[in-house]
Amino acid sequence: MTLSCLTNTLGDLLAGPLPDADPCVSAIQYDSRKVTDGALFVAIPGEAVDGHRYIPEAIASGAVAVMGELPHDDLAVPYIQVTDSRKALALISATHYDHPADRLTLVAVTGTNGKTTVAYILESIFAAAGLCPGVMGTISTRFCGREEASAMTTPESRDIQDTLARMAAAGVTHAVMEVSSHALALDRVAGCAFDAAIFTNLTQDHLDYHGTMEIYGEAKKRLFEEHRKEGAAAVINMANEHGRNLAETLSGTVFTVGKETGALAADRIEVAIDGIKGEFVTPNERVPFASGATGRYNLENILCAAGAALSVGIPMDAVVRGVAAFKVPGRLERVPNPCGLHLFVDYAHTPDALENVLSTLRHLVPGRLICVFGCGGDRDRTKRPLMAGIGAAYSDLAVVTSDNPRSEAPEKIIEDMVPGIDGETSFRYEPERLSKEFSRKGYVVVVDRREAIGLAVASARPGDTVLVAGKGHETYQIIGTQRLDFDDRKEVLKAVESTR
Ligand X SMILES: Nc1ncnc2c1ncn2[C@@H]1O[C@H](COP(=O)(O)OP(=O)(O)OP(=O)(O)O)[C@@H](O)[C@H]1O
Ligand Y SMILES: CC(=O)N[C@H]1[C@@H](OP(=O)(O)OP(=O)(O)OC[C@H]2O[C@@H](n3ccc(=O)[nH]c3=O)[C@H](O)[C@@H]2O)O[C@H](CO)[C@@H](O)[C@@H]1O[C@H](C)C(=O)N[C@@H](C)C(=O)N[C@H](CCC(=O)O)C(=O)O
Among 11, 12, 20, 33, binds ligand Y (CB under 6 A): 33
Q: Does 116 bind ligand X (CB under 6 A)?
A: yes
Question: Judged by CB, which is closer to ligand API: 84, or 380?
Answer: 380
In three state form, how does the secondary structure of 94-121 look? HHHCCCHHHHCEEEEEECCCCHHHHHHH
Q: Does 31 bind ligand Y (CB under 6 A)?
A: yes
Q: Does 405 bind ligand API (CB under 6 A)?
A: no
Among 142, 158, 331, 471, binds ligand API (CB under 6 A): 471
Rounded to 5 degrees, what are φ and ψ at 272? Answer: -125, 175
Question: Judged by CB, which is closer to ligand X: 42, or 293?
Answer: 293
In the shown chain, the binding pattern of residues 206 to 225 toward ligand Y, with x for contact by CB under 6 A and - for none, equals ---x----------------
Is 470 one of the annotated binding-site residues? yes
Is 391 one of the annotated binding-site residues? no
Q: How far is the CB of 355 from ligand X (least distance, A)?
A: 8
Question: Judged by CB, which is closer to ligand Y: 201, or 395?
Answer: 201
Q: Does 123 bind ligand Y (CB under 6 A)?
A: no
Is 500 one of the annotated binding-site residues? no
Calculate the dihedral angle through the C-alpha atoms of 430, 350, 375, 150, rounding to the nearest 10 degrees: 140
Is 155 one of the annotated binding-site residues? no
Contacts to ligand X from residues 294-333, by CB under 6 A = 297, 300-301, 331
Question: Judged by CB, which is closer to ligand X: 300, or 464?
Answer: 300
Is 249 one of the annotated binding-site residues? no
- CA distance linking residue 477 with residue 473, whole number of Å: 11
Q: How far is the CB of 166 from ligand X (least distance, A)?
A: 22
Question: Judged by CB, which is closer to ligand X: 87, or 379?
Answer: 379
Question: Judged by CB, which is closer to ligand X: 403, or 464?
Answer: 403
Q: Does 337 bind ligand X (CB under 6 A)?
A: no
Q: Does 48 bind ligand Y (CB under 6 A)?
A: yes
Q: Does 478 bind ligand Y (CB under 6 A)?
A: no
Q: Does 472 bind ligand X (CB under 6 A)?
A: yes
Calculate the dihedral angle through the C-alpha atoms of 72, 77, 83, 86, rounding to the nearest 10 degrees: -130
Among 114, 133, 278, 442, binds ligand X (CB under 6 A): 114
In the shown chain, the binding pattern of residues 158 to 197 toward ligand Y, with x for contact by CB under 6 A and - for none, equals ----------------------x-xx--x-----------
Is 300 one of the annotated binding-site residues? no
Q: Does 153 bind ligand X (CB under 6 A)?
A: yes
Is 154 one of the annotated binding-site residues? yes
Residues that bind ligand API (CB under 6 A): 153, 349, 376, 379, 403-404, 470-471, 474
